[in-house]
A and B are shown apart, each in its own frame.
Chain A
Amino acid sequence: MFRNLIAFPLLALVVIVQSAVVSQMTLLAGYADLMLVVLAAWALKADASSAWIWALLGGIMVSFVSGVPWLVPMFGYLFVVLLAQLLKQRVWQAPLLAMFSVIFLGTLSMDILTLIVLNLLGTPLPVGDSLGLIVLPRVLLNLLFSIPVYAVVRDLAQWVSPVKEVE
């Protein structure tokens, strides 16, 4: 229970690493969304209630740092968790496949939501350029990041809520 409090320092660290390091590792004009990858992995490995709380916390932290309107990361990450919950029940035998599916669909939905909201608020973002230069490279980078992040988060989830062996 109390081990769930690790969400605060861990997600803060994720935001710091995202802002200081990951955002410098660009492919075309896009870079990975570490928070999305961490939250997707957590939602696949941990229990549902903690995943929702983590997504909410991650959304708040990212919207605090980012210039993107707060509702985008908030609802975007919650949607990623929802996707993970749905896929976890269907692709439970292949966790890495589920992870890739969540990352792919989650990144696309999150970035399309960002694109729509920013365009509605008056930031002129051409859809073609945004998809080709940001969204697709971001999907690829998120998929690359998902493998090591999944391994780390799986161990962390095991530490936070150890699975009791049935006697």
Chain B
Amino acid sequence: MRNLFGRSLQTTIIFLIVGGILVLAFGGYLGTASRGLSGSLVGVQTWFATRFAAIQDFLAAPRDIVALRQRNTELEQEVSRLQGQLIDLQQKVDETEILAALVNFQRTNPERSYKGAAVVGRDPSPFLHYIIINSGSNNGILRGMPVVTNQGLIGRIDAVIADASRVQLITDPASAINIRLQNADTDAVLVGSVTGDLSLDMISQDVTVEAGDVVLTSGLGGGFPPDLIVGQVLNVRKRDFELFQQATIQPSVDFARLEIVLVITNFRPVDIEPLDPLNTP
């Protein structure tokens, strides 16, 4: 009994001593010893905390990456959708601009009737320069009608079916149009080529032609109405030993980017072939 009491007392005293030392140490009353102890404990705590945080990150991170990837995919889809929308809207804006220009052109030339049509194709053969438009005889289109844009002349109707027509461009190698040089006030013939370049032929040697001169249809021959803009003179080739001068023309229309065109529906080409002396019996 005495032994038991003695051991309990001994234990209690030891606990009190150790507890007291710890209290004093944590309270900072033990100076260097206290700092060393608390420093060691904080170090251990830091070590554990760092490792735990690392383990926690390791375990939690994959879930975050999956979530982030999912979010990224969603955002990319959203960006793609918006980009598609932007392209659609841009196309509509471009189309509206073209239509507005055509309407403006129509207003400034009220003496003519126009029928708008979209370009839906080109000739399968690269030797010829034809386009296909989505208006035909059902829309009052007839063979020979001139086709223009707000920038100028592009060609004439070559063949017509119910809902489509084929247009021979002025750049076609077989195309020859009577034109007038506005500044020089002289007539000439505009011819196309296999490369799509336009040139003027049959310009009299007496006439002074300069780069920048405006080229208009003359109306001679009855194939086209007069005063439709064709382009501008780019450069002139004049040789003394040749009968005529020649000139290269910069067309006013970009033939590579034709989208919407206007057919002049109140113009009927005149067939002057029977009046040609060579065809008269």
Chain A positions near chain B (C-beta within 8 angstroms): 15-16, 18-20, 23-24, 26, 29-31, 33, 35, 62, 65-68, 73, 111, 114-115, 118, 122-126, 129-130, 133-134, 138
Contacts and interface: CB of A to CB of B under 8 A. Distances in A.
A26 B124 contact: no
B195 A133 contact: yes
A66 B126 CA distance: 10
Interface stretch (B8-16, B28-36, B115-123): B115-123
A67 B121 contact: no
Nearest to A22: B124
Interface of B: 120-128, 130, 132, 158-159, 166, 168, 173-174, 193-196
Q: Which of B121, B124, B159, B168 has the most CB of A within 10 A?
A: B124
Contact of B120 (A20, A122, A126): A20
Contacts of A115: 127
Given A20-B120, A122-B174, A66 B125 contact: yes
A107 B123 CA distance: 17
A65 B132 contact: yes
A130 B130 CA distance: 17
A23 B194 contact: no
A37 B127 CA distance: 18
Q: Which secondary structure dominates chain B's binding surface?
A: loop
Given A29-B194, A123-B173, A35 B127 contact: no
A33 B168 CA distance: 20
**3 A-B pairs with least C-beta separation:** A19-B121, A23-B122, A123-B174
A125 B122 contact: no
Contacts of A111: 127
A67 B159 CA distance: 9
B269 to A, nearest CB: 17
Contact of B126 (A65, A122, A134): A134
A18 B123 CA distance: 9
A125 B128 CA distance: 10
11 contacts: A20-B120, A20-B121, A23-B123, A26-B126, A35-B124, A66-B124, A66-B128, A66-B130, A114-B125, A118-B173, A123-B127
Q: Which of A67, A111, A114, A122 has the most CB of B within 10 A?
A: A67
A129 B194 CA distance: 8
